[in-house]
Structure 1
């Protein structure tokens, strides 16, 4: 028969010890007696060890309740009431699809890096990892953080990565817009991805800039002190009230220390719920949609970018004209074209080889090797039938005067090719088909890398290897039937002059 504490946990669900003490006090016990009763029953329940809430409360539960929908709802409710640093991080992380690069977590946590009485982002992450709420993992060459109860696997991963790219492009546009209208000092904008992270009051944002707009400036005997424009962007979905509350808390933390400069907070999204918009505007926050900033064409193009980066290239491969339209729209954003070209290169190449050679196309396919357990992303995979076999292309988009390095070439040849070959052949569906692996770039290969590559065996057991540099790619693109593909490559990827022809003769 369950004791009193077990019965309360069965009736009310998991919760904070402080909440159970309140229930026991309502039933006639003193606070001290209620606390003692919970302590004496500690063998009959479990607790999140190492995670303390306000007034030293602990989150406790019955073993069979762990991991249920009720469990996580109650945990978030406990964080909202008595652990706002945890709640803010989890709420913002969920609003981004449940996963972000590890380097972005300080922005998600929204707490100061070093301030007495406040948990730093590193400490928030450490504590939530310790109780298995957050988890670090590696995908490719990057480390990520995910919210374990919420994360939905590869689909959310793909959408989150696509939104990261769309947000990077949009942030360049926001930076250009804010500079042109004088919201911040022209040459002093900091943006997500910069070598120095955008921080104000020790808190990380997506974009910051000192601002001399009159309401933000303070004047003293030491001179004029600017305020700051601070901005976050969230394109995963609609910005709802919880995300808006988390952003407001972040703004309040930035303004709390005495003597801190004034801030002008801005949050940008595709759309805001009515509750979120009312809350933000009521607190004096600039809540701006991409449509209001850039107009309908660019806002829609950013949505289409996410779609194209998450549907394995299916739409891009059958509609290169649409892909060109999106690229033409988004390259209007000053500074965003570099991010865009790299993100879309594999889609352009996938569409090109399908147009020239036909076959069944996949792009950006993330797979795991059954033998080693390692993961790999396959940029372009074209199944050309039993005779021609499978063509697998690694794509390296390069800016003008950049080259594919020797280290990249060695890694592709010695690591990525055998790994992807193992992934595709151990599953069974491609066993027996001829395989061709190629490294394609719109730029040049480094001289040392090319020399090394030409000295390696090009015919292996089960597959062959080849490559194309920018000039060889341009020759291949001339075979395309669809003019939009040639236009995209000519306008956005080919650099002049190209100094060397290095298509492998047998490709």
Structure 2
């Protein structure tokens, strides 16, 4: 007996309307009658409001909405139609389900703006309007987007995302240095992505782009001897292993770029920790270099990058030893600019290790909820009598903490942290203190503002520490490894003298 549309969905799961039509036709129903039956459906058959080729729709039942099967089948269905929405969802899933919003135009597979292509902004807007993708703001990162699949646990995705993008940024700077040293790109003309803007070649955005005058990519304008530069472009995805499905959005974007006339030739890299065999073969077959961090740098540096990702992702225990911090600094020291980024990323672990002897419990990167929203506390130190919130800035010693940063901490962060503490059953009766630690220096305005706040605070305490006070605090501990690590990488690092 031929199943109804609803029965087919219940048995086989969410799918494209064309699949149901084909089933009905194979069961002996005429093509027209099958299409009409699918079109009529029933009140229990829902349609995703996305425009797909040949007026095809994605069908599902109310019970299937938002389930794991729904998302798996949706991705497969959209990819089978070469839908820009499918490539975008694939890009998000490959990146843990969440990414900074500004990087969507790099990863989605859609060009910024190009004839006969949906633009990245249009794709994102449509995905958001159908609730397949949602928006959030992550402190220290900015606007982010995530798959609706993760609505109930999006907070769990933030630390791995932040870790991945921090490590990818360090890696991109190292790749830029490598490309410049080898003469692949012109000095000062290589650009890496940022939360404000992305490198572009014609209609497409990239994680890294540099103008190149290497002979294979240089061309000449007709009837002139003037060389026309080409480009070196790079996409990066530092996950455990990049699969063949993961690279589909990248290939779609590259095809869009290669279809254009009068655009300089490109030397293309896709950088990852590792590739599946199929992904490796596919990239090579289309003239792309599948480059691993181990191949670009060396085994020690690649291991250091993986270790840093694990630490920042909370994959390993929050308490890391000074020896581990020292190991990461040394393994990544060959990458230009890495030391400054590492100070920012690892300083909170130094704070935690410094305070461990004084407090019974230490928490890092806890998201605190207040009346005005949520904020992330770098370090929370807890004893039977006190709760201490510490904001840490692992700056170069010559970098100033400005008045805007201090004001944000005083007026935006502290109220949220205090409200969270007051709502906590164990913390609400304990003394509350808030401190701002920086290995840089405070501007005169910032210092004055902090001193005033310190004097005026009544229901809680405020304090702050610069490099000299932090160093004294660490020297007062009995932790010789911590003293050595801080002295070598935070207090006396040669970058501090620049």
Aligned 8 A contact 1:362 1:381 in 2: yes
CA distance in 1: counterparts of 2:195 and 2:68, whole angstroms: 39
Deviates more, 1:296-305 or 1:445-454: 445-454
- Find the counterpart in structure 2 of residue 58 from structure 1: 57
Deviation at 1:258, TM superposition (A): 2.5
C-alpha displacement at 1:155, in angstroms?
Answer: 3.1
SS at match of 2:245: helix
Q: Deviations over 1:406-425 (max 9, x none)?
A: 22222222331221122123
TM-score between both structures, scaled by the size of structure 2: 0.91
SS of the residue aligned with 2:246? helix
Pick aligned residue for 1:411 from 400, 408, 415: 408
Evaluate the alpha carbon distance shift between residue 381 and residue 194 of structure 1 in structure 2; reply closer, same or farther with a 3 A threshold.
Answer: closer
CA gap of 1:326–1:160, structure 2 versus 1, over 3 A, is same
1:442 Cα deviation from its structure 2 partner: 1.2
Q: Distance in 2 between matches of 1:359 and 1:44?
A: 56
Q: Which residue does 1:168 correspond to in 2?
A: 169
Aligned mate of 2:268, from 259, 265, 268 = 265
Residue 367 and residue 451 in structure 1: after superposition, are their counterparts in 2 closer, same or farther (change >3 A)? closer
Question: Following TM superposition, by how much is the alpha carbon of 1:399 offset from its aligned partner in structure 2, in angstroms?
Answer: 3.0
The unaligned stretches of length 5 or more in structure 1 are 497-507
1:20-39 CA-partner distances (Å, limit 9, x unpaired): 33333334445444333333
When residues 3 and 43 of structure 1 are mapped into structure 2, their CA distance, relative to the original with a 3 A threshold, is: farther
Matched, 1:386 2:363: no
Contact 2:92 2:147 in 1 (8 A): yes
Please tell me whether the aligned partners of residues 314 and 362 of structure 1 are also in contact (alpha carbons under 8 angstroms).
no
How far apart, in 2, do the equivalents of 1:210 and 1:170 lie?
Answer: 19
Of 317, 320, 323, the residue aligned with 1:321 is: 323
Q: Over residues 314-338 of structure 1, what are the superposed CA-to-partner deviations in whole Å (9 max), with x where a residue is unaligned?
A: 4544x11111111122132012222
Q: Which residue of 1 aligns with 2:210?
A: 209
Distance (Å, rounded) in 2 between the aligned partners of 1:114 and 1:278: 30
Between the two proteins, the alignment pairs up a number of residues equal to 489
Contact 1:312–1:363 (8 Å) recurs in 2: no
> Structure 1 residues 220, 415: CA separation in 2 closer, same or farther (over 3 Å shift)?
closer
TM-score w.r.t. structure 1 length?
0.89
Cα deviations across residues 132-176 of structure 1 (Å, max 9, x unaligned)?
111001122511100121575333221111111111111111111
Aligned to 1:296: 299
User: For residue 79 of structure 1, what is the aligned residue in structure 2?
Assistant: 78
* Offset, 1:451: 1.9
1:15-72 deviation per Cα after TM superposition (whole angstroms, max 9, x unaligned): 22233333333344454443333333354521112x1111222212222221222222
- Aligned-residue offset at 1:286: 0.8
Mapped contact 1:380–1:392 kept (Cα < 8 A): yes
Q: CA deviation at 1:216?
A: 1.6
Question: What is the 5 A alignment of 1:241-390?
Answer: 241-311=244-314, 314=317, 316-317=319-320, 319-354=321-356, 357=358, 359-369=360-370, 372=371, 374-383=373-382, 385-387=383-385, 389-390=386-387
Corresponding residue SS for 2:63: helix
Structure 2 residues not aligned, in runs of 5+: 494-498
CA distance in 2, matches of 1:68, 1:209: 43
* Contact 1:203–1:254 (8 Å) recurs in 2: yes
- The 3-state SS of whatever aligns with 1:160 is helix
Query: CA offset at residue 495 of structure 1?
Result: 7.5
Q: Distance in 1 between matches of 2:69 and 2:5?
A: 18
Which secondary structure state, in structure 2, belongs to the residue aligned with residue 106 of structure 1? helix
Cα distance in structure 2, aligned partners of 1:13 and 1:415: 47
Establish whether residue 449 from structure 1 lines up as the match of residue 446 from structure 2.
Answer: yes
CA contact (8 A) 1:320 1:482 kept: no
Change (3 A) 1:3 1:240: closer
**Equivalent position of 1:503 in the other structure:** none
Contact 2:390 2:437 in 1 (8 A): yes
Q: Which moved more, 1:481-490 or 1:223-232?
A: 481-490
Q: Could you report, residue by residue, the CA deviation over 1:436-474 in whole angstroms, capped at 9, with x for unpaired residues?
A: 211111122221222233223547455211111222222
Distance in 2 (CA, whole Å) between partners of 1:468 and 1:11 is: 64
Deviations 1:454-501 (A, max 9, x none): 2235474552111112222222222132334333333343479xxxxx
Indicate if the aligned counterparts of 2:453 and 2:462 stay in contact, CA closer than 8 A. Answer: no
* From 220, 228, 252, the counterpart of 2:231: 228
Residue number in structure 2 paired with 1:237: 240
State the partner residue of 2:96.
Answer: 97
Query: 2:496 corresponds to which residue?
Result: none
